[in-house]
Amino acid sequence: MKQTSGLILLIDDEEALTRSLTRRLRSNKLATADFLTAQTVATALELLQRHQPEAVVIDLNLDPSVGPKSGLELISSILLKDPSVRVIVLTGHGEDEFGIDALKRGAASFNQKPIDIEVLSSLLSDAVCYSKLLRKCRDLEKASKFEASIPGIVTQDSAMKPVLERILYAARFNQPTLLLGETGVGKGVIARAIHDLSKRKGPLIRYQPRYEGGDLVASELFGHEQGAFTGATHSRQGLLELADKGTLFLDEVDQLPRETQVSLLSALQDRYFNRVGSARSRSSNFALICASNAAEERLVSKSALRADFFHRIAHLIIRIPPLRDRPGDIVLLAQSFLNELINRENLDVHAFSASAKHGLLQYPWLGNVRELQAKTCCAAYRAAFNNRRFIELEDFEFENSALADRSFSFRTQVRSFELRLVNQALARCGQNQSQAAESLKLSRSQLRRILGRREDYSPEKLPN
């Protein structure tokens, strides 16, 4: 007999009845389901808000002094809070008017007491499955709305929802924004999306410091006057001026020399700056986006950034999860890159075979989205060269060791998986550890203990 997993809330003013009903349902086909019970409307609504059950069983006569109306009003309250909940009504009041009213308010079924436990078990199994399906459809609709509203962003994985929300927030308000994420996760794409969604009329100016000295970096950012230094044969505008009424995107901001950080700090605070070799103050009205692939706690602790400069550029922080933590995006992004290539090169290659999709999901993608794009393009060309319309697994030329089950212990794999789940929960909860722990049914101490493995179980340190 197939078991149903889900969360079911039983509401009856008699506690003994809810306990008895719970035991009988568990002994039937709901052995793997979880149950909550409530004897009052207030408790029921609190449990509904906190735990979000899939199905609810209600006795209409919750408050004998009010009668069936108390249960009918609760049906409306429940479905107003969460329309995906399936409500099953049990009552000793068998009049048709109550049943019609309950169904009009959104109840899934109306049943007289006593009800056969087999019938109720079947109703609840169907209710749980239906509710889960409704919620899945709702989540997919939300994801597609986000995708449609943010040009250039291709995603459907739940781990990216907090990122999408913060992109919209950053675009609306002119706050200095810091993008954090591993190399290749798409920080430049997100910076472009924030700029394009904003109301700023100027350009997006991108600058990535390399190994230049402080004088050259200052010249790039602030500009210089003729004769300001050896080789300055003419005056030059800096990037701050070019970004006026637009957005300045400083990639790998932790590579900025500390003396440049001091100069930028003043420019960011007052919006005034001087070109190198000039005493004349100039102004520029630009939005600032910075990015780094360093861990947040290391940006200041390792002296890469001055503390005052970090706090100036990080009013809003957007943490972008690595591709391995958003598996729902892997095949979607690969198909998007393939479609771009088809349109650009007119290739007669249309999609991925089942084995290729499986390989995409198994590969660790340490280079993130950038690596996925490169490998997808190469695989498409190989498939086209071999006159295939579908990309096969061998077209990717993955190393066997990368696709094989990595040769480390079962304990290590379990701990690595636990860490991935925690990272995904933190992404969903905006890095709030209390909320993430609650969503995973963990204590905060358990969650912190798992987070303590970040160094030992990072993909770079796991053997291939």
pLDDT in the model for residue 351: 87
8: three-class secondary structure by DSSP: strand
Q: Which CATH number is associated with domain 7-137?
A: 3.40.50.2300
pLDDT in the model for residue 454: 56
Backbone angles phi, psi at 45, to 5 degrees: -65, -35
Q: What would the DSSP string read from start to end of 97-140?
A: HHHHHHHHTT-SEEEESS--HHHHHHHHHHHHHHHHHHHHHHHH
The domain made up of 323-403 has a fold known as: Helicase, Ruva Protein; domain 3 (1.10.8)
pLDDT in the model for residue 405: 44
Q: How many helices and strands in the chain, by DSSP H and E?
A: 19, 16
Q: What single-letter amino acid sits at 225?
A: E
pLDDT in the model for residue 212: 63
385, 391 Cβ separation under 8 angstroms: no
pLDDT in the model for residue 145: 55
pLDDT in the model for residue 74: 92
Separation between Cα atoms, residue 10 and residue 384, nearest integer Å: 59
Q: How many CA atoms lie within 13 A of 158 on its CB side?
A: 13
Q: Do domains 7-137 and 323-403 have the same CATH topology?
A: no
The domain made up of 158-319 has a fold known as: Rossmann fold (3.40.50)
Separation between Cα atoms, residue 58 and residue 50, nearest integer Å: 18
195-207 per-residue burial string, b: 16 or more CB within 10 A, e: under 16: bebbebebebbbb
Domain limits, the chain: 7-137, 158-319, 323-403, 410-461
Q: Of 227, 230, 232, 238, which Cα lies nearest the Cα of 275?
A: 238
pLDDT in the model for residue 194: 95
User: What pLDDT tens digit does each residue of the chain (464 aa) get?
Assistant: 456 678 999 999 889 989 999 999 988 778 888 899 999 989 999 999 888 899 999 988 888 788 888 888 999 999 988 899 999 998 876 667 788 888 888 998 888 888 889 889 989 998 998 898 888 877 766 655 555 568 889 998 888 989 999 999 999 988 899 999 999 999 999 999 999 999 899 999 999 987 666 678 888 888 888 766 766 778 888 899 999 999 999 999 998 988 889 889 888 888 888 888 777 888 889 999 999 998 887 787 766 888 899 999 999 999 999 999 999 899 999 999 999 999 898 888 888 988 889 889 989 999 999 999 999 999 999 999 988 888 998 899 886 555 544 434 456 566 767 777 887 888 787 778 888 888 888 888 788 778 776 544 444 444 33
At residue 186's C-alpha, the angle toward residues 185 and 187, to 5°, is 105
94-107 per-residue burial string, b: 16 or more CB within 10 A, e: under 16: eeeebbebbeebeb
Q: What would the DSSP string read from start to end of 353-392?
A: -HHHHHHHHHS--TTHHHHHHHHHHHHHHHHHHTT-SEE-
Cβ neighbours, 10 Å, residue 191: 25
Question: Rg for the chain (alpha carbons), in Å?
Answer: 29
pLDDT in the model for residue 429: 79
pLDDT in the model for residue 3: 60
Q: Which residues pair with 110 in a beta bridge?
A: 89
List all residues 6 or more positions away from 212 whose beta carbon is below 8 Å from its beta carbon.
Answer: 220
pLDDT in the model for residue 404: 46
249-263 per-residue burial string, b: 16 or more CB within 10 A, e: under 16: bbbbbbbbbeebbeb
